[in-house]
Amino acid sequence: MRWNRVLQIVDCHAEGEIGKVIVGGFGQVRGETMFDKRNELQNNMDHIRKMVLFEPRGAVWHNSNMILPSNNPEADMGFVILEICEYPAMSGSNTICVATVLLETGILPMKEPVTDLVLEAPAGLIRVRCDCKDGKVTRVTFVNQPAFVYHMDSMIEVDGLGSFRVDVAYGGMTYVFVEAADAGFAITPDEARDMCAVGQRIKAAAAEQLAVSHPENPEIPGITQLSFTGPLRREGGEIRSRNAVVVSPGRCDRSPCGTGSSARLAVMHARGQIRQGEVFVHQSIIGTEFHCGIEGLARVGPYDAVIPSVAGQAWITGLSQMGMDPTDPFQDGFTLTDTWMSRF
């Protein structure tokens, strides 16, 4: 063996969205909080993210997570999320993958029928309920940090496409919401490529024209996500809708998107479209679902906020070791614009 780096990885997906969980091989990550560790990875150890997510080992639709011990006495474990364009403060599909891997590989003990966990994400503590049966995690429900609306019904101008009415909200990542019909989309899988091309242009215009800054942590990235939303409908006591999230640099989230669902709950609550205790079933572009709700209300700086919960399921797909040969010319990987639509 002549690798100069070898990572132990549990491959996993949550409702179709890949969330690899790196369980070993990366050494010490300095920092007191998970946000400090996220910054350390971003500033001084970014080669790990590039190795796992860039080509030739990764792909633009992959996400990964590093399991790290937490210094918070309340937390059972911590994790930092590594995505193709950023280190988000929080991620829903990745949280569901991390909780599933922690319990199904025995890193933390599983108690049937329910294991309660507290995980420290960069955004803060995340309480997680895992329903478990016969050694399988059958559902992960997490309570997110507060989600809130930055802008509602704002008009933006997109070069060559015209004007769009948008909302901007935070749910662990920062989202611009556009009604899919306003851009001529029905949110069907055959539209994915076009939605990404148009979505990236709308996202860039929103980021330029609408200011955002997280009141408690200005280091949290601004608008990097776009959700094309379908209409809300009430069915059998539930509120249901479809959405497609365009993740930078231009690919669709395969899951309904946990941070996007959280941000959408904040928008829906601000519009009086959902009350605490009601169930919101959010569907992805491939038809998978998260079951979401509002657990409570909060305040973040000057903003009214909701405390969202999101539930879904993950499945482990493999165990792998990823290595780096010292003569490999792509020590930092590479990206190509056929799938990496923009450089970032």
Ligand X SMILES: O=C(O)[C@H]1NCC[C@@H]1O
Which residue lies nearer to ligand X by CB, 35 or 324?
A: 35
How near is the Cβ of 73 to ligand X at its closest, in Å? 27
Which residue lies nearer to ligand X by CB, 6 or 204?
A: 204
**122 preceded by cis ω (within 30°)?**
no
How near is the Cβ of 217 to ligand X at its closest, in Å? 17
- Of the candidates 85, 196, 257, 292, the residue annotated as catalytic is 257
Which residue lies nearer to ligand X by CB, 147 or 205?
A: 147
- Please give, one letter per residue, the 3-state secondary structure of the chain: CCCCEEEEEEEEEECCEECEEEEECCCCCCCCCHHHHHHHHHHHCHHHHHHHHCECCCCCCCCEEEEECCCCCCCCEEEEEECCCCCCCCCHHHHHHHHHHHHHCCCCCCCCCEEEEEEEECCEEEEEEEEEECCEEEEEEEECCCEEEEEEEEEEEECCCEEEEEEEEECCCEEEEEEHHHHCCCCCHHHHHHHHHHHHHHHHHHHHHCCCCCCCCCCCCCEEEEEEECCCEEECCEEEEEEEEEECCCEECCCCCHHHHHHHHHHHHHCCCCCCCCEEEEECCCCCEEEEEEEEEEEECCEEEEEEEEEECEEEEEEEEEEECCCCCCCCCECCCCCCCCCC
- Residue 208 near residue 168, CB atoms below 8 Å: no
CA–CA gap between residue 127 and residue 141 (Å, rounded): 8
Which residue lies nearer to ligand X by CB, 10 or 97?
A: 97
Q: Which residues would be at the binding site for ligand X (CB under 6 A)?
A: 17, 63, 88, 91-94, 173, 247, 253, 255, 257-259
Which residue lies nearer to ligand X by CB, 246 or 322?
A: 246
Which residue lies nearer to ligand X by CB, 249 or 324?
A: 249
Kindly report the backbone phi and psi dihedral angles of residue 157, in degrees, each rounded to the nearest multiple of 5, phi listed first: -105, 130
How near is the Cβ of 262 to ligand X at its closest, in Å? 8
Question: In the chain, what is the straight-line distance between the N-terminal and C-terminal CA atoms, in Å?
Answer: 35
- Of the candidates 12, 64, 85, 91, the residue annotated as catalytic is 91
The answer to whether 12 is a known catalytic residue is no
How near is the Cβ of 305 to ligand X at its closest, in Å? 17
Which residue lies nearer to ligand X by CB, 87 or 303?
A: 87
How near is the Cβ of 32 to ligand X at its closest, in Å? 24
Q: Among all residues, whose Cβ is closest to ligand X? A: 91
Give catalytic residues, as residue numbers: 91, 257
